[in-house]
Structure 1
Amino acid sequence: MFKLGLIINPIGGVGGSVALKGSDNMVEQALALGAELKANARTQAALTVLLPYKNDIEIYTANNQMGEQAAKALGFEVKLIYQTDSETTQAEDTEKALLALLSAHVDIILFAGGDGTARNIASVISKNVENNEYPQVPVLGIPAGCKIHSGVYAITPTAAGRVVELMLTKQLVTLTEGDVMDIDESLFRQGIVKAKRFGEMQIPSELRYVQAVKSGGKESDELVLQDISEEVIAKMVDNEDNLFIIGSGSTTDFLMHELGLESTLLGVDLVQNQCLMANDVTESILWQQLMIAKGANKNVNLVITLIGGQGHIFGRGNQQLSPRIIRYIINQPCGKENVIIIATKTKLTQLNNKPLICDTGDNELDQLLSGFMPITTGYKDQVLYPVSSPL
């Protein structure tokens, strides 16, 4: 079941129709002038696109006009994760609802509002990234504000629904960083636009198969693998004390050669501080190393690739990665983000929309690993791709 997070700022854009050029601190005045609340209607325009997939979606949201009403009116299954008594919600409501959605581990979060709402969302996301409390979740804005300067919104409400539809139909959805911008509304009302950047958030962008390094319209494998390796090595530099488990396969083998390290093509290697710790380790030795890392309070990352044409990421050629090994890795802070899956987009498209497969031998773990996971496909280039159990 696809878990869609939804937050609506009911007063988003309320000042627009009455020429107040914003909603900040202007709600009562706008309503007194006859303004109508339109954020819910715009959200329903986005959700309408998803009606054909209604039976495959659970919408996690807050009560009343923060999401419940819009979703139930269209017949979606709704799970309430936050309650507010206020009809004109505050920034605090948006932030608390977002925290509840992060703890629910939804697949994506749609939010409706303007740049002020985006700032509220970004502030919580930023703190979460710093504290590593919950895995990072992509977000996307449904434009419902008076001013939309931020790069985290779809171009229309319908477009927001289309992006989610791409995920539901198991197409490649590129992840990128969108800037959160806002302007000084008091100056804006004087005709002065003064925008300021308040951060960035991970968003799903439009479907994009072709990246910058190309040869004749196709991926140049060596250049793409170099890009992928550069991204993983950058993570190693940023997390130099982490223990990196490098799984089997030709893509991970290329990474090891880029590091200048001996590789076990059909085995599992250990790397720390970009230095080789051990080659071709067994499950028991790997577990011992995890316990050593735990005692030293060091995080562990797993770098794996998929079997071309089949899509298996666990259970084929890497049985050293046993259920207890995998559980340890994903039970650390950041959860499944500790698993770094690397693959070229060519390799992913050859799966013909089939999901990646987890066949660990532990059905509960396979289900836990299921859902959308980011796949590193280049330098600062990721796509969301579905992962499924073999059942």
Structure 2
Amino acid sequence: MASGGNGVIGLVVNPVAGLGGSVGLKGSDGADVQRAALAKGAEPKAGRRAAQAVATLLARRPGVRLVTVAGAMGEDSARAAAVPYELVPSGVGDTTADATTAADTRAAVAALADVDLLLFAGGDGTARDVLDAARELGDQAPPVLGIPAGVKVYSGCFALSPATAGFVAADFLARPETVEAEVVDLDEERYRRGLVSPRLYGSLRVPAGRAALSGRKAGSSDAAPATVEGIARAVATRLRPGARYVLGPGATTAAVGRELGLATTLLGVDVVEARADGGADLVAADVTEGELFELVRGRESVIVLSVIGGQGFVLGRGNQQVSPRVLDEVLGGGGGDRLVVLATQQKLAGLGGRPLLADSGDQELDRKLAGHVRVLTGYRESTIYRICAASEEFYG
């Protein structure tokens, strides 16, 4: 393990992680998907989220040595964070944002093996690449911590947010204890067809601050169908004629579409408009962030989102189409009745009292959303539940 007065932190960024999120591609694995995302106007965000993490780390522990690799796989993020850094040769070729591969990630991890903790920015696919590299390194592999930057972040090796990753990394150097965290991923082709089948690939050593890690996503198969249908019925009876409703991804919001007799999507973001007769029309299905913004712009709109089981995320995991500018347009600076959250009582109980989380990509907006929100849990059931910015839950 590396040594030094304040410790050595490595940084690897998968610059194409999360590209497919805002444009509705439900993942970013594969060169074809990445090219399609860029053609649809997707903007790389992993580097910016990595910069947030290292800026937080260096602010908390200024003497840390940050070591990374050239270009978009680390150096660009360190430069954007305006922090000192050192480069190591990785053998990686073109490190521009649209030209890196899984092999490049594995090579970068190997080049940074001699650090106290390795931060990596990406999603579950990146975590798999890091796991592959760690297996090759064997006992020489450093502990790692994920900076969430992917479309789907189901693995338990990620911090709650970029800022939280920086805090955890800083604290780890003072108390270098580790635990094992699971790495899971989905088959994205099956996922795009509505087949959610996470697979366990192994585990990685991560800092022991489990409360600040996202934890593995829990499924919602235990929820009684009648309960989900009751939630859907509750939403349907609250529709305001003329208003547009943004239905986020998930089984519970898909049940809302079924209740309304509409062909909405399971994993996409859909927009419906309520009619005066109590019904609704499907305005658009599986929209991109840009399409969604135009559909709600200047219109009375409501955002309907479900909670990710086991993690508690309402924003920032799988629903990146609901961007900060969409939220600003719909909410007008506050939640009120324009943000509707859906969750079964079982799903809330599974959080063990932990709050719901927002990680929209705009920390200031997440702070504005913090407080309490009404959660619909059944046909005539609801509860008031705490929601907070993911970046501040444990280090606010």
When normalised by structure 1's length, the TM-score is 0.49
Rg: which structure is higher?
A: 1
When normalised by structure 2's length, the TM-score is 0.48
